[in-house]
């Protein structure tokens, strides 16, 4: 349970205080707590509410690193993708992506067939230890021209020779994956609090402010880990930093529901050792729509002031139309745009790259301070493992073995979705139809059992939230009572699917506000 126990934060002396409740900070809190450390974590907004929310929903297996000849990162990505299938099997599934091929050079069918073989060889153990065969990543394959046009009729037909299909992981609900790390850390004794902002580092901890009450207090800790993402350098008073601004847009569906698509972009990749032309964007089918991403543009300025404007959206739409003229996208076809910032290393800029490719962990002059900067969601667990090893070193203690790769997160301790569904349906009320049960299981795994028991006691909790055809009232109750939601947006954007496609109906928001029963001043403080 995410209980926001500020009194305990103020009174306890912790082994490690994590600043930042994005995916990297939460994964670190989970690893540290699983290894027996006393852990505190504070987040100035809501868990996963900033850069971690700017996701294309993909858990990458590392194929893209083949172009850079980076076999080490390919191997790391393969291992981490497999770990996600173990940790949150209800939230991550294998998913195919189509790369159209043209001509007979590096963009041709033969070159992609070779790439598929190399990728399969590098990821030879990608399914090792996965009991559920439905979580197995198939081998890559090449398909003919007609198959490509069936899957993606908008791709240019001139010069099309066929395509290659490779598989990665796709998150059914990326926000719930992020929250699973928070819930798992809390279950192992970590003390987490959202809407608590770190204001000043101290020799033995940090001074923080509760943004809901305005009160300040001190958290005592032997080690401090900064996992503040784009706010790392401003908070630590380091030199001004440039950022890679990434954006995704959601439009009407453009490919089959069960297939993603690689789309060549205009930007070149100066780091690539094998030049296949521009960097690729990828599409992800999403709730009957399509997510396109991810752009990468240099941003300089205060990360709190970065916004997605209409011009940026139009530029992205224009670039997609250049690659897929038949698509004929218009800016009004974009129902939602979202994104985030990642710190951009100067060495990347010096080569002309606008993308930071590797996560980094830093030590500092302050002896008890460590910081981390992530790049890919996929690498959060392994980066947290390395950070936790360093925390033990700072504490002068021998690090126990990391077990996060084999340990299911909250809700993920089951063998197969089919067996879980059979077990849960036996105890479900007859009034709760199969689609509603499957929706709960997909989002919550074994935690759905508790929610179904509540519906059994109060059938009204099995009704849909107003103006939703998917989210149940019990989910709103669960978000508030168990998952630390403080605002309507916490519920709609980061606990449920109510806001996954962008615009939210007024009636839905009013329902969430009433469920929270927020005092006016409480909401005003958060908005400020």
9, 4, 84: which is closest to 46 by C-alpha? 4
- Rg of the Cα trace of the chain? 23
Query: What is the model's pLDDT at position 527?
Result: 45
**221, β-bridge pairs:** 14
Query: What is the model's pLDDT at position 239?
Result: 62
Query: What is the model's pLDDT at position 522?
Result: 44
Instruction: Give domain limits for the chain.
Output: 6-52+175-236+364-395, 417-527
Query: What is the model's pLDDT at position 457?
Result: 94
Here the tokens at position 452 are 């179904």
pLDDT averaged per 10 residues in sequence order, the chain, 528 residues: 95 98 97 98 96 91 89 95 97 96 91 96 96 96 95 93 96 97 98 97 96 97 94 75 88 84 74 60 91 89 88 94 92 92 65 58 92 90 98 96 97 94 90 93 97 95 95 97 96 95 91 80 43
- Domain 6-52+175-236+364-395: CATH class, spelled out: alpha beta
Query: What is the model's pLDDT at position 269?
Result: 55
Contact 57, 171 (CB under 8 A): yes
Q: Which runs of consecutive H residues, i.e. helices, occur in 139-254?
A: 145-151, 174-187, 232-235
Here the tokens at position 104 are 């007979």
pTM of the model: 0.93
Distance CA 405, CA 244 (A): 29
Q: Is 460 helix (H, G, I), strand (E, B) or coil?
A: helix
Query: What is the model's pLDDT at position 138?
Result: 97
Here the tokens at position 123 are 């990821």
Query: What is the model's pLDDT at position 520?
Result: 42
Query: What is the model's pLDDT at position 523?
Result: 43
């Amino acid at each position: 349970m995410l209980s926001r126990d500020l009194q305990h934060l103020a009174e306890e002396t912790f082994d490690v205080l994590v600043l930042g409740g994005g995916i990297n900070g939460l994964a670190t809190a989970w690893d540290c707590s699983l290894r027996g450390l006393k852990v505190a974590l504070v987040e100035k907004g809501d868990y996963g509410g900033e850069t971690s929310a700017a996701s294309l929903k993909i858990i990458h297996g590392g194929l893209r690193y083949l172009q850079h000849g980076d076999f080490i990162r390919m191997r790391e990505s393969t291992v981490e993708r497999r770990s996600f299938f173990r940790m949150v099997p209800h939230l991550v599934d294998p998913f195919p992506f189509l790369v159209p091929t043209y001509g007979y050079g590096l963009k041709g069918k033969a070159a992609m067939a070779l790439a598929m073989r190399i990728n399969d060889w590098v990821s030879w153990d990608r399914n090792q230890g996965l009991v559920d065969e439905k979580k197995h990543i198939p081998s890559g394959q090449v398909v003919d021209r007609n198959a490509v046009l069936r899957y993606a009729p908008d791709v240019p037909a001139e010069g099309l020779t066929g395509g290659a299909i490779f598989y990665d992981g796709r998150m059914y609900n990326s926000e719930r994956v992020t929250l699973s790390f928070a819930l798992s850390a809390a279950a192992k004794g970590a003390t987490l609090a959202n809407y608590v902002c770190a204001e000043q580092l101290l020799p033995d901890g940090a001074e923080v402010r509760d943004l809901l009450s305005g009160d300040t207090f001190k958290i005592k800790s032997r080690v401090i880990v900064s996992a503040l993402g784009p706010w790392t350098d401003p908070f630590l008073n380091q030199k001004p930093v440039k950022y890679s601004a990434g954006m995704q847009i959601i439009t009407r569906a453009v490919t089959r529901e069960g297939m993603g698509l690689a789309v060549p972009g205009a930007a070149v990749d100066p780091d690539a050792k094998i030049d296949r032309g521009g960097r690729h964007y990828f599409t992800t089918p999403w709730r009957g729509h399509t997510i396109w991403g991810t752009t990468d543009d240099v941003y300089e300025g205060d990360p709190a002031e970065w916004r997605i404007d209409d011009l940026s959206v139009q530029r992205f739409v224009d670039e997609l139309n250049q690659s897929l003229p038949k698509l004929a996208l218009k800016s009004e076809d974009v129902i939602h745009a979202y994104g985030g910032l990642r710190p951009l290393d100067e060495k990347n800029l010096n080569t002309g790259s606008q993308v930071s490719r590797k996560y980094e962990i830093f030590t500092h002059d302050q002896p008890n301070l460590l910081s981390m900067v992530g790049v890919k969601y996929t690498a959060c667990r392994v980066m947290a493992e390395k950070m936790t090893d360093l925390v033990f070193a700072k504490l002068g203690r021998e690090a126990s073995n990391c077990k996060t790769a084999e340990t299911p997160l909250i809700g993920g301790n089951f063998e197969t979705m089919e067996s879980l569904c059979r077990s849960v349906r036996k105890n479900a009320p007859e009034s709760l139809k199969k689609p509603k049960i499957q929706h709960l299981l997909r989002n919550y795994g074994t935690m759905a059992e508790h929610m179904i028991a509540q519906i059994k006691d109060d059938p009204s909790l099995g009704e849909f939230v107003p103006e939703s055809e998917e989210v149940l009232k019990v989910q709103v109750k669960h978000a508030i009572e168990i998952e630390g939601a403080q605002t309507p947006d916490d519920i709609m954007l980061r606990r449920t699917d109510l806001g996954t496609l962008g615009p939210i109906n007024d009636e839905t928001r009013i329902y969430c506000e009433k469920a929270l029963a927020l005092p006016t001043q409480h909401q005003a403080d958060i908005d400020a």
